[in-house]
Structure 1
Amino acid sequence: MFSKIKIVKAGLLIIMAIGLCTGCNGNHDQHPNKDLNNSQVSKPISQSVANQATENIILEDEISKVMAVNTDKDLLVAIKVKQFDRFRLKKIEKKINSDLEKQYPDYSILVSADQKMYFELVKLDEKLQKNTMSMENLKKHTKKIKSLMKEQS
């Protein structure tokens, strides 16, 4: 009787292991990027202007974090200001905006210290890093973010 119980337990254990292995080995999509648009970009969109702006802005004492994204005509920058400098938020935004306008006169520049704008630019930058965005989509997203930034001002 004791050996029959062991045989039944071993059989159940083997059946469960086979069930788990076949359940985990189900249908996987052949195209993991099937949710991407057909207008995928073969080369990444240059963010050199945004990267340079980020490097310059982060050197400011009152800035803790910076996120920037650029198109061929626009430069969107979102900043996070250190806690005690939040009282001078508008002044800091204007200073950074004027500095960037001097450095990049060919670009339309918007600077915001709003956290929502920061997170929107982080999401947009992640998509750019994954190379899943065309220039058209980038312009559409930046237009949406620009309208949000202007609304906040």
Structure 2
Amino acid sequence: MMRFLLKLNILLLVISLVGCGLNSPAKKPQDQSPNQQIKQVQFDPQLANDIKKQIKTINGVKDSTVVVMNKEISAAIKVTGFHRFRLKSIKEEVHQKIKDMNKDYTVRVTSDKKLFKQLRQIEKQVEASPQKAPPDIPLQLHKINEDMQG
């Protein structure tokens, strides 16, 4: 019986010590050093719509989605039927048309269906509120851009 009580006391002591460690205050975002600067992110839905209009003029492109963040243009296209046989040349034509319109921008174009869907979701969020887009969008967009081939 005495051993049981001793083990119980030790167990309660360990639990209370571990529990106190979990309740320690977490660092707050304002505790960060002042040297860390938050980069301002700007979206341009108007430019994105202008680019989409230009992409629609290219033969074989069924649909497109475009997001413009800072000086980066991310575009995804859907190509119809037999035009998929010349997918590479269509992507190059889309890329060149966007680049000609916006020489100071980095341009990325994809025809990947999964990336199209992800980019479309971001486009809708940005169109809904370009000034107050969710803070995780730049990270999502960066990941999509890394996954693009061109």
Q: Is the 8 A contact 2:76 2:111 kept in 1?
A: yes
The residue identity in structure 1 corresponding to 2:137 is: L
Residue 130 of structure 1 deviates from its aligned partner by 3.2
Q: Is the 8 A contact 2:63 2:79 kept in 1?
A: yes
> Quick one: distance in 2 between partners of 1:141 and 1:121?
9
Query: What is the TM-score of this pair, normalised by structure 1?
Result: 0.64
1:66 aligns with 2:60: no
Q: Is the 8 A contact 2:45 2:127 kept in 1?
A: no
1:94 aligns with 2:89: no
> Quick one: distance in 1 between partners of 2:47 and 2:113?
22
Tell me, what secondary structure is at the counterpart of 1:84? helix
Tell me, what secondary structure is at the counterpart of 2:58? coil
- CA spacing shift, 1:75–1:45, aligned 2, 3 Å: closer
Residue 123 of structure 1 deviates from its aligned partner by 1.0
Corresponding residue number in structure 1 for 2:148:
149
1:48-95, Cα deviation, whole Å (9 max, x unpaired): 111110001112221100100011110000000011100000111011
1:4-42, Cα deviation, whole Å (9 max, x unpaired): xxxxxxxxxxxxxxxxxxxxxxxxxxxxxxxxxxxxxxx
Q: Report the RMSD for the aligned CA atoms in angstroms.
A: 1.8
> Quick one: distance in 1 between partners of 2:45 and 2:77?
17
Q: Is the 8 A contact 2:94 2:109 kept in 1?
A: yes
Q: How does 1:67-146 map to 2 (within 5 A)?
A: 67-131=65-129, 133-134=133-134, 137-146=136-145
Residue 45 of structure 1 deviates from its aligned partner by 3.9
The residue identity in structure 1 corresponding to 2:78 is: K
Residue 46 of structure 1 deviates from its aligned partner by 2.8
- CA spacing shift, 1:100–1:45, aligned 2, 3 Å: closer
Corresponding residue number in structure 2 for 1:56:
54
Q: Is the 8 A contact 2:58 2:94 kept in 1?
A: no
Q: Which has the higher contact order (CA 8 A, sep 6+)?
A: 1
Query: What is the TM-score of this pair, normalised by structure 2?
Result: 0.65
> Quick one: distance in 2 between partners of 1:130 and 1:95?
29
- CA spacing shift, 1:45–1:94, aligned 2, 3 Å: closer
Corresponding residue number in structure 1 for 2:7:
none
Residue 99 of structure 1 deviates from its aligned partner by 1.4
Q: Is the 8 A contact 1:71 1:138 kept in 2?
A: no
